[in-house]
Structure 1
Amino acid sequence: MAEKALASTTSAQYKTPDEWKGPLRSAWIVGRSFVLRTGRWAEETKESPPFRNTIASWWGYRGLLWADIHDKLADLVAYRDPPEFLIIHLGGNDLVSVGRKNVYEEICASLSGISHTWRDTEIYFSSILPRRKWQGAISYKTVDISRRKLNRGLEKYCLVKCFRFMKHPFITLGDPDVFHKDGTQLLEQGMEYFFREISSTLATRGCK
C-alpha cells in the first residue's frame, strides 16, 4: 500500500455563472496532487470557461495509489452525497511498482464496484498521462509502452461497461510548456489543457 503522503482535504470549486439557468449538478475530479492544483488554477484564473450547469470539486492527493482510491471516496461521501459525475485521474503512480496487468485488473474492479455502489453517478476514467520521468523505473521507454497499452485496454473496457474514457491529446512530451522540470507535474499550460478537456466533456454531458 502506498505511503500516506500529504493529502489535501479541501477542494477548489469553479461555480456556474448566474446567467446559466437549470439544475446544478456536481462533479468530482479525484486523483493525483496536480488535480487539486488544476482546480485552484481554474478558480484563480477567470479566463478559463466554466463548467456548464456544474459545480466541480477538485480532490488531489500527493503520492496517491489506486489501492487508496476507495478509502478516499469513502471519506468524501461521509459528509456529502455522491456526485452526478466522477472523474478519476489515477494509476500512473502504480505502473512501476505494481505493473500494467495488475493495475488494469485493479482499475476495472474498482470502476465496476464504484458503479455498483453509486448507481446515479456517471463515471469517467481520465487517461494516464505521459511523464518525462518515472520514479523507480529502469527504462522510461518500457514504462511508457506499458502506459499506452494500459490506456488502450481501459478505453476498450470503458466502452464495454458504459463508462466514459477521457483522453488528453494536447498534453504531450513534445510541448516544452506542458511539463514541469521534475518531469511529472504540469505547468500552467498543461493544467489549462487538462482543465479544458474536462470542461468540454462536462459541458456536453452536464447540461442534459
Structure 2
Amino acid sequence: MENLLAELLRKAEGAGGEAWLRRCLQEPVPTVAEARPEEEEAGPSRRVICRILPPRDPAEQEADAPAERHHRSRNRHGERPEKRRRSSSKRTGSAPVPPPPPEESRARGDRRHGSSSSRRRHRSPAHRDESSQQPSSDSHTPQHGGAAESAAVGGKKQVWILGHSFVVWAAKRAEQRTYGANLSFNRDEFEIQWFGYSGLRWRDLYCILQNLAAALPPPDILIIHAGGNDIGKVKTLDLLCEIKRDLSLFKCIFPKCILIFSEIIPRLAWIKRGLYFHEKIRKRINYAVSRFITSLGGLSFRHLELEGYVPGFYWSDSVHLSCIGSDILNAHFQSMVDLGAVARLEGGPGQ
C-alpha cells in the first residue's frame, strides 16, 4: 500500500499530475488498462480492472479481524476432504454382519463352554437343597483343579508319562514321596503309568508308542518328555521336522488323546563345557514345538523353575536332576495332568 501511494505522489508531482489525480478521483467508473501489444498478437485482449479504494480505519480493521479469522478457518476445514475408512463390505462385496447382542453371545458361550459350575448356577433352589443333603463319597480324596470334575464326567482317565532318564528318576522319586506314583490323584479317577527309558532318542518314540498301543488301552492324556538327548547330535532342522512328523503320527494313533509336550530342560553340563549353542538350540526347539502342538489341539509346558542352571537341581554329573529337581519335575507333571483334564472337560479335540 505504501509503495502504491508513493508511486501516485511521484506521478502527481510531474507535469499535469495534479489534473490527472483530480480526474481519477472524480470519475466513478474504474479505469481500464489496455492490453500489451505482445498479448494482442498472441490472442484476444484481456481487461484488467484497477480500482483505487480509500484506506480503511485501523479500529475497523481490528473489529473485523476475529470474523475474518473465523471465516478462513471455516473455509480451510470445509475444503479438507473427510477421510472415510473403507469397510470390509466394500472389499468383500457383502454387507457387514452386526455383532450379536450381549445376551445372545453369552448364551452361545454357555452352550459351547458349558461346565459343571455353570450348570450348577442354573439349578433351582429345591434341587440345590436336595444335592446339599446327599453326602459326597470322594470328599476325602485330594482335588487337583478341574481334574476330579473331568474324571467324574468321563470315568477313569489313563495318563501316560513317556520320556528319557528324567522320567525314570522322577518315577523312582515319586514312589519315595508321600504323593506316590499316582501323584496324589485318586486311583478311581486317574491311573498314571510311567514309561521311562534311559538314553532315549526321539527317533525311538514311534516304535515304543506302537507297542504300547497294541498292549494297553489308549491314553486320555499323553505327556512326552524327550528330545534333550538329541541336541548336539542331530541337526536342528532335521530334529524339528522329526518331532513335528511324529507328533502328527501320535495324534493319528490316539485321536481322542490330549498331547502335552514337556519342554526340554537345560543341562548344567552344557554351561560347564562351554556349549552355549546347545542352550540356543533348546530354546529354538521348545518355541517351535510349542507353536506347532497347539495346531494339533495339544499343550506345551515350560519348566521355568528348572531353567536357572541352579547346581543344587542336578547330580554331580551335571546332567540328571537331583532329588529336589525331580520333586519340581513331578510337581510340573501334576500341573500337566490338571491342564490335560481341564482341556478334555472343555471339549478338546475328538471329545
- Fold match, TM over 0.5? yes
Give, in angstroms, the shift of residue 139 of structure 1. 4.8
Q: Which has the larger radius of gyration?
A: 2
Shift in alpha-carbon separation, 1:17–1:79, aligned structure 2, 3 A = farther
* Partner of residue 177, structure 2: 45
* Partner of residue 152, structure 1: 287
Alignment partner for residue 199 of structure 2, among 49, 53, 63? 63
Q: Given that residues 36 and 60 in structure 1 are in contact (C-alpha distance below 8 angstroms), is that contact kept between their aligned partners in structure 2?
A: yes
What is the identity, as a one-letter code, of the residue corresponding to 1:33? Answer: S
Encode CA deviations 1:110-166: one digit per residue, 9 max, x unaligned.
0001101211111111101101225xxx85101111111111111111223322111
Structure 1, unaligned runs of 5 or more = 1-15
Describe the SS at the equivalent of 1:183.
coil
Cα separation, 2, equivalents of 1:204 and 1:90: 19
Encode CA deviations 1:44-87: one digit per residue, 9 max, x unaligned.
21057523632111111111111100111122222211210101
Alignment: residue pair count: 191
* Partner of residue 156, structure 2: 24
Shift in alpha-carbon separation, 1:161–1:150, aligned structure 2, 3 A = same
Cα separation, 2, equivalents of 1:151 and 1:66: 14
Q: How does 1:155-194 map to 2 (within 5 A)?
A: 155-194=290-329
Q: Given the alignment of the two structures, is residue 33 of structure 1 paired with residue 165 of structure 2, yes or no?
A: yes
Encode CA deviations 1:160-199: one digit per residue, 9 max, x unaligned.
3322111111113432221111111000111111111110
Describe the SS at the equivalent of 2:158.
strand
Describe the SS at the equivalent of 1:177.
helix
Instruction: Determine which structure has the larger strand proportion and give its number.
Output: 1
Q: Given that residues 39 and 57 in structure 1 are in contact (C-alpha distance below 8 angstroms), is that contact kept between their aligned partners in structure 2?
A: no
Give, in angstroms, the shift of residue 43 of structure 1. 2.2
Runs of 4+ in 1 over 6 A off after TM superposition: none
Cα separation, 2, equivalents of 1:43 and 1:17: 24
Report the identity percentage: 25
Q: Given that residues 303 and 332 in structure 2 are in contact (C-alpha distance below 8 angstroms), is that contact kept between their aligned partners in structure 1?
A: yes
Shift in alpha-carbon separation, 1:17–1:185, aligned structure 2, 3 A = farther
Describe the SS at the equivalent of 1:87.
strand
Q: Given that residues 160 and 194 in structure 2 are in contact (C-alpha distance below 8 angstroms), is that contact kept between their aligned partners in structure 1?
A: yes
Cα separation, 2, equivalents of 1:90 and 1:82: 20
Q: TM-score, normalised by structure 2?
A: 0.50
Q: Given the alignment of the two structures, is residue 198 of structure 1 paired with residue 345 of structure 2, yes or no?
A: no
Instruction: Determine which structure has the larger helix proportion and give its number.
Output: 2
Shift in alpha-carbon separation, 1:17–1:112, aligned structure 2, 3 A = farther
Q: Given the alignment of the two structures, is residue 84 of structure 1 paired with residue 241 of structure 2, yes or no?
A: no
Describe the SS at the equivalent of 1:150.
helix
Which moves more between the two structures, 51-60 or 185-194? 51-60
